Amino acid sequence: MGIVIVMPGRDEDAARLRVALQRLDSDLEVWIQPDIPDPGRVVSAVTWKHSPGELGRFPNLRAAISYGAGVEHLLDDPSIPAGVTIARTVDEGLIRDMVEFVVGRVIEHRRGFRGVAADQRTSSWVPRRYPPHWDVLILGAGRLGGAAAEALHHLGHRVTVWSRSGRAPVHVSSIVGREALLEALPGADAVVCLLPLTGATRDLIDASFLARMKPGSLLLNVGRGAHLVESDLLPALDSGRPAVAVLDVFTTEPLPPDHPFWGHPRVVVSPHVASLTDPEGVAGAILANHRRAVAGEPLCDAVDVDRGY
Ligand code: NDP
Ligand code: OXD
């Protein structure tokens, strides 16, 4: 009884993951979709952005494991039977890379490094001043948002996290509920979105949200593209709230070549690389979850389907 890897368009990751899994257990059966001789032998599926319905052909499936932290591609697939446990994969490398990305972008903007680079292009010696610290509001206090909050706190910034339950790292203040969020926005120099995409978080960052942001502030979206109402962003940038948007995720990926975000002077685009799952790094956790599925035990990092994350 083995594992199928269903990751369309990610052939290299799929091949590396198979090698890494079989290096840990040489008897393990691992197939890469569509080459599956006997679908009845599949117990676990590791997926990334599979097409809905693709997992329906495995009658003995027990575990559907996301190859990343996000699980909306699994929760949006109505063909996954109710008895199949959905889990996700969040390893230390994914967390570290996200922390680096968030901290790097926040520091780049607080210190005005983009301006410094522009000054060099015009041979201008401009000792730019910068504020001693920033007030940073992080939407989401989970594995990634919590780690980013801790790192920024340790660098001396004033960090607040917004979560559903009030969860927060030690020494980091926390707020709950939409009203508290709207009250916190005008005081934040940077707003970082690290939420999962659910019915409650989709379209959260809309015109009314942006209008409450501090003039001159930074918006950093590393959650999912659909957290932001993209058509509301350019008018908001024109009004200076926020001054700059750093976007790593988009409603349509890849971002179409004619999309106005590409050429906008105050939008910074990256191609969904804030953090990337490393196949060798996650193989151990995936194998352990597969073994739990075979043994009929609860999975690690299982998703609460009703909550949506
Ligand atoms: P977690 O599930 O660990 O944490 C989610 C956080 O969001 C929790 O603090 C949760 O609150 C909070 N939350 C969920 N719904 C709401 C809501 N309605 N209102 C307020 N807070 C809410 O997720 P991770 O930290 O592991 O990952 C977050 C997301 O980051 C992923 O789902 C994915 O979309 C994105 N991501 C992006 C990557 C990239 O490269 N751009 C890479 C990896 C992930 P509570 O604590 O109360 O449960
Ligand atoms: C993830 C991602 O969810 O890379 O892991 O976006």
pLDDT value for 72: 96
pLDDT value for 297: 98
Say yes or no: CB of residue 69 within 6 Å of ligand 2: yes
Q: Is 63 in contact with 44 (CB distance < 8 Å)? A: yes
Residue 80, CA distances (Å) to 55, 57, 281 in order: 6, 10, 27
Say yes or no: CB of residue 112 within 6 Å of ligand 2: no
Q: Of ligand 1's atoms, which has the minimum distance to the CA of residue 167?
A: 46
Q: Which of 52, 49, 81, 42 is nearest to 66 (CA)?
A: 49
* C-alpha 114 to ligand 1 mean position (Å): 29
* C-alpha 223 to ligand 1 mean position (Å): 7
- Mean pLDDT for back-to-back runs of 10 residues, the chain (309 residues): 96 98 98 95 97 94 98 94 95 97 98 97 97 97 98 98 97 97 98 98 98 98 98 98 98 98 98 98 98 98 96
Say yes or no: CB of residue 247 within 6 Å of ligand 2: no
d(CA 169, CA 161) in angstroms, rounded, equals 9
pLDDT value for 288: 98
Secondary structure E strands in the chain: 2-6, 30-32, 42-47, 63-66, 85-87, 135-139, 158-162, 173-175, 190-193, 218-221, 244-247, 267-269
Q: What is the dihedral of CA 232, 238, 244, 248, to 10 degrees?
A: 30
d(CA 269, CA 238) in angstroms, rounded, equals 17
Q: Which ligand is nearest to the CA of 224?
A: 1
Q: Atom 2 of ligand 2 has which residue's CA nearest to it?
A: 68
171: left (phi over 0), alpha (psi -120 to 50) or beta: left
Say yes or no: CB of residue 172 within 6 Å of ligand 2: no
Q: Of ligand 2's atoms, which has the minimum distance to the CA of residue 224?
A: 6
Q: Atom 6 of ligand 2 has which residue's CA nearest to it?
A: 70
Q: Please list the active-site residues.
A: 224, 272
Three-class SS state of 135: strand
39: its two tokens: 């679908």
Q: Of ligand 2's atoms, which has the minimum distance to the CA of residue 90?
A: 5
Say yes or no: CB of residue 194 within 6 Å of ligand 2: no
Range 82-85, long-range pairs (CB < 8 A, 24+ positions): 84/55, 85/293, 85/298, 85/299, 85/302
pLDDT value for 218: 98
Q: Atom 41 of ligand 1 has which residue's CA nearest to it?
A: 222
204: its two tokens: 């959260």
Q: Quote the DSSP letter at residue 302.
A: B
244 CB neighbour count, 10 Å cutoff: 21
Mutate to test the pocket of ligand 2, among 275, 278, 303 (most ligand atoms within 8 A of CB): 275
Say yes or no: CB of residue 98 within 6 Å of ligand 2: no
Q: Of ligand 2's atoms, which has the minimum distance to the CA of residue 70?
A: 3
Say yes or no: CB of residue 142 within 6 Å of ligand 2: no
Buried residues in 255-285 as b, exposed as e (16+ CB within 10 A): beeeeebeeeebbbeeebebbebbbeebbeb
d(CA 85, CA 295) in angstroms, rounded, equals 13
